[in-house]
Amino acid sequence: MGEGVEWALHSCVNLAWAGPGRAVPAARLAAWHDLPAAYLNKQLQALARAGIVTSTPGPRGGFRLARPLAEITLMDVVAAVEGTEEAFRCTEIRQQGPGGAPAADDAPACAIAHAMNRAELAWRQALAAEDLDGIRRRAELQAPDAASRLRAWLAAGAGGR
């Protein structure tokens, strides 16, 4: 996975901490973690296309969560940023080269493809089982003042935006 997934996940939690319905510009979200704003904006646009956040244009605009964190899974964010294509693609190399043989219609599926598909399914199920509200709660246990620090920082900059 690319770093955009991590950035998108943190941005969702930060939007929740910013306060209900508060729009936060991509540049402010990026500045909080010293990230490149243009690249973070691409991740936020992907989240908007997936219905995870909404985007409001204009000087008082920005991004806000489209639904509660409890309704957003890690898999939702990964799929929004990385896409839904399978990570492993079997090209049937077992049928190529001197060791290969043409596949018979009743040949079993490639053992490697089968194992990789099982692993990917388990990974996707684990991501789908984790919602961002659980992540937020664990983050708050690790850094109890994180939400209040973010809100104060947002209020102090850009006219409170």
pLDDT at 9 over 60: yes
Q: Are strands 53-56 and 62-65 parallel, antiparallel or unpaired?
A: antiparallel
Mean pLDDT of 58-75: 94
pLDDT at 143 over 90: yes
Q: Pull the structure tokens for residue 14.
A: 């930060």
Of the pLDDT bands very low, low, confident and very high (cuts 50, 70, 90), residue 158 is: low
Mean pLDDT of the chain: 91
Of the pLDDT bands very low, low, confident and very high (cuts 50, 70, 90), residue 159 is: very low
pLDDT of res. 106:
64
Which amino acid is present at 58? G
DSSP 1-46: --HHHHHHHHHHHHHHHH-TT--B-HHHHHHHTT--HHHHHHHHHH
- Domains detected in the chain: 3-160 (1.10.10.10)
pLDDT, one tens digit per residue, over 89-123 is 888 888 888 877 776 666 677 889 999 999 999 99
Q: Is 154 exposed, middle or buried (0-12, 13-18, 19+ CB in 10 A)?
A: buried
High-pLDDT (> 90) share of the chain, %: 71
pLDDT of res. 87:
85
